[in-house]
Amino acid sequence: MALIAMMNYLFCVAGGLVLLTASVYASSSPLQTVGPPLPPRRLVIGVDGGTESIRACIFDAIDGSVVGKSCAVPYKTYHPKPGYAEQDPDDWWNNLSQAVKGAIDSIGITNEEEGEDLKSRVCAICIDTTCCSVVALDKENVPLRPSLLWMDARSAPQTEEILKTCKGDPALKVNCNGKGPLSAEWMTPKSLWIKQNEPEIWEKAKTICEYQDYINYKLTGNMVASACNAAARWHWNGDECIKEADEKNKFPGRPISLYKKLKIPELAEKLPAKCASMGDVIGTLTKEAAQHLGLNEGVPVAQGGPDAFVGMVGLGCIYPQQLCLITGSSHLHCVVTSKPQTAKGTWGAYRGAPIAGTNFAEGGQSSTGSIIRWAKMLFGAEDLDYKTLDDEAASIAPGSDGLIALETFQGSRTPVTDPLARGALVGLTL
């Protein structure tokens, strides 16, 4: 779903390029349809950096049809302590190369000429990722430690500290008008945890960013935050943060008063200075990135966003009173509102998300999908596909013969936000 959603924006990015470059010529490439000579088939690449793997797929830039097959390359999640979840940013970057090259190979290129033809047709690429997977980078933009994955709940004490210390701060309106809850998944508590528990990392960190920002930096050389990520997990105003800074407002849309109250005013400087809305062009592939992916230098890179909230766009859920369900490693119910209002037991509503000029609120749980992967590993069924599991589950009567799974293995999101909640299987028998 996230890959499909990106297409809506990639079409906008690619559309002008199609008109500019659509010279007519015949080709024997597998990308050329049979019949009279046609304009070259322009292509876009969508990439979904999820919890379990990174996936790439190639699409026709005009009609959205899939070209070849998608390619997924898994990476590991590490749990050094209960409630902790980490990934290696190098795995994201290295596996991205494998995923994109795998999607290209699936088309069936048979010679170098066809390969060059394919590369010339790619007119845009867009990445979505998990949110909020936090990365600390040194002055050379090299990771200083493993990423604190979105589901990492170690900053639970910091969420309480923030609500207490910053009571009444306008940035906390997205947390039920400051009454809470505030999730340990979010950027501010994770940043505060690093400052308090790994001060040497904090001092060395020139940049604090997300998976999304890090990968886009590796692709383009530009450090640009996602307005959707920032609105939904950073306490930023998504409509304001995309504006240019000036002498009167050095940090538009940023919660400066919140950072000052927490005695981390430097966080405003460490987070990316630039911010772009979903679909905006943030740069082009550098020579190094192009070689890494097997593409041509200069391909435009469009801003993506959080995987789940890109899915909202794919479902067309961008108008007030629309509600959608997004499932994956976690699940979310997302509702679009006419105003950035809030309600007890929900997160948001966020301004300027999922796209500029919209607002949405959410509810859901953190590990509904992850525990299925956990069960597959536990029972030695890692090669069993999810469709087979769905079919087997469908044969069991509602109620599962009294077996109940409490899925809060990695804490609870809503309506009770509790990062210390734990899961259980109740009703086991011999």
Structure tokens at 323: 């509600």
* 107 vs 31: CA distance, rounded Å: 8
pLDDT of the chain, 430 residues: tens digit per residue? 455 445 444 444 433 333 222 322 233 344 544 445 445 689 999 999 999 999 999 999 999 999 999 999 999 999 999 989 999 999 999 999 999 999 999 998 778 888 888 899 999 999 999 999 999 999 999 999 999 999 999 999 999 999 999 999 999 999 888 888 899 999 999 999 999 999 999 999 999 999 999 999 999 999 999 999 999 999 999 999 999 999 889 999 999 999 999 999 999 999 999 999 999 999 999 999 999 999 999 999 999 999 999 999 989 999 999 999 988 878 888 899 988 888 888 888 999 999 999 999 988 887 888 888 888 888 888 888 888 888 888 999 988 888 888 888 878 877 887 878 888 989 988 8
Bridge partner residues of 207 (DSSP): 137
399-407 own/partner pairs: CB under 8 Å, 24+ apart: 400/427, 401/427, 402/427, 403/427, 403/428, 405/371, 407/365, 407/367, 407/368, 407/371
* 230 vs 362: CA distance, rounded Å: 15
Query: Within its chain, how far is the Cα of 43 from the centroid?
Result: 22
Residue 221, C-beta contacts closer than 8 angstroms, at least 6 positions apart? 283, 286
